[in-house]
Amino acid sequence: MDTNAVIDYCGGKLTAAAMQKMNQIADNGFYVSAVVKIEVLGFNGPTADMQKLEGLLSLANLLYLDDEVILKTISLRKIKKMMLGDAIISSTAIVHGLPLLSRNLKDFTTIQGLMVLDPHTL
């Protein structure tokens, strides 16, 4: 799950059908890169919003940076100009064979080996 998917889900910014699918995903176990946790919790929002975000992230399986993700990130940044956080998040999904839930289709859909799902259209 990408940063924007976490924020949109917790903020109730998805359609009713998409919220239902995201509820199922949250209930059945989901993964986030350590970078997503840093980005989400590094935001300084209202206490109630931050508590929702922290609550959701406490349910996530956290995927840390390891050598394989680091090497994939380096490789990806050499072939595609992108922000470091996005490169780490997409590399993490690729290395672990996971789809990435993100509304950031522009930056992610052209990455070979990465399946991207827009949470707004689930």
Tokens read off for 49: 């919003």
For the stretch 88-104, pLDDT in tens is 999 999 999 999 999 99
| Other CB atoms within 10 A of residue 105 CB | 13
Walk me through the domains of the chain, giving residue ranges and CATH numbers. 3-116 (3.40.50.1010)
Q: Residue 15 has what pLDDT? A: 95
Exposed, middle or buried, 91 (CB in 10 Å: 0-12/13-18/19+)?
A: buried
pTM (whole model) above 0.85: yes
Q: Nearest to residue 65, comparing CAs of 95, 108, 41, 43?
A: 95
| Other CB atoms within 10 A of residue 108 CB | 21
For the stretch 48-91, pLDDT in tens is 999 999 999 999 999 999 999 999 999 999 999 999 999 999 99
Q: Nearest to residue 96, comparing CAs of 34, 13, 50, 37?
A: 34
